[in-house]
Amino acid sequence: MVVVTGQNKVSGNPDDAMSSSDAEDDFQEPATPTATQAGQALPLLPQQFPEVVPLNVGGMYFTTRLSTLRRYEDTMLAAMFSGRHYIPTDPEGRYFIDRDGTYFGDILNFLRSGDLPPRERVRSVYKEAQYYSIGPLLDNLEDIQPLKGEKVRQAFLGLMPYYKDHLERIIEIAKLRAMQRKARFAKLKVCVFKEEMPITPYECPHFNSLRFERSESETKLFEHHCEVDVSFGPWEAVA
């Protein structure tokens, strides 16, 4: 008979016994797995969420349905509560989001019923909607004031030639004038004008390839004779 215990030597008839190395190969018990090995062998299961989800957003508490958080698939909230990512909980068991919760109620109201925030909170909610990547809310907010006006303004400035260069010149002149007058601010006269070209809706797609010739009298209609500090234009643009 051959008796093997751990790595102890084999006892028994030497003629019948196997070598120590052979015995270890056949009878060695598996080692106790380490924590790292256990983690690799047993991956974490997807996180399960209740139908009614308690939330702690930066110390402010909310409660909503899981379906509300998953309303739009391409949002950060839908990804967070998809079960693919681990979300920590506070001591009371609320799912914790490390973000200022001041405007999170407005985010939930939109996800629940499409409600939009009042005008004074539009900018702040827009910032939160950007963080949570809620595209439909961003689109709605961009169509109301004050964001709509800012959107139009940026579009106009994008068409204005040499805007940044002229803006730097305006600031330079204003500083110099204020210093000369020993004042805290200065007023400048700025002229912004464009030549409105007679383009129909049909012609708009071809605008870049169009060139209009004006008579001398027509050209004078677009001249300006103001005494200004900085002038934007003229430039050709759609009426």
> pLDDT by residue (tens digit) across 56-95?
999 999 999 999 999 999 999 999 999 998 999 999 999 9
> Taking residues 227-239, what's their average pLDDT?
73
Q: Are both 81 and 148 inside the same structural domain?
A: yes
pLDDT at 96: 97
- Where is the domain boundary, 152, 175, 207? 152
> Taking residues 16-32, what's their average pLDDT?
45
Max avg pLDDT among 4-8, 9-13, 34-38, 49-53: 49-53
Q: Are both 57 and 144 inside the same structural domain?
A: yes
Residue 43 has pLDDT above 50, yes or no: no
Which tokens sit at 85?
Answer: 């990512």
> pLDDT by residue (tens digit) across 191-219?
877 766 655 554 454 444 445 555 666 66
DSSP secondary-structure letter at 229? S
Which tokens sit at 223?
Answer: 């001249």
Question: Residue 139 burial (CB < 10 Å; 0-12/13-18/19+)?
Answer: exposed
Task: Give the separation between CA 78 and CA 63, rounded to whole angstroms.
Answer: 16
What is the count of structural domains for the chain? 2
Range of the domain at 166: 161-198+223-232
Q: Are both 148 and 70 inside the same structural domain?
A: yes
| Residue 129's CATH number | 3.30.710.10
pTM score of the predicted model: 0.54
Closest CA relative to residue 87, chosen from 79, 142, 191, 110? 79
- Where is the domain boundary, 152, 183, 212? 152
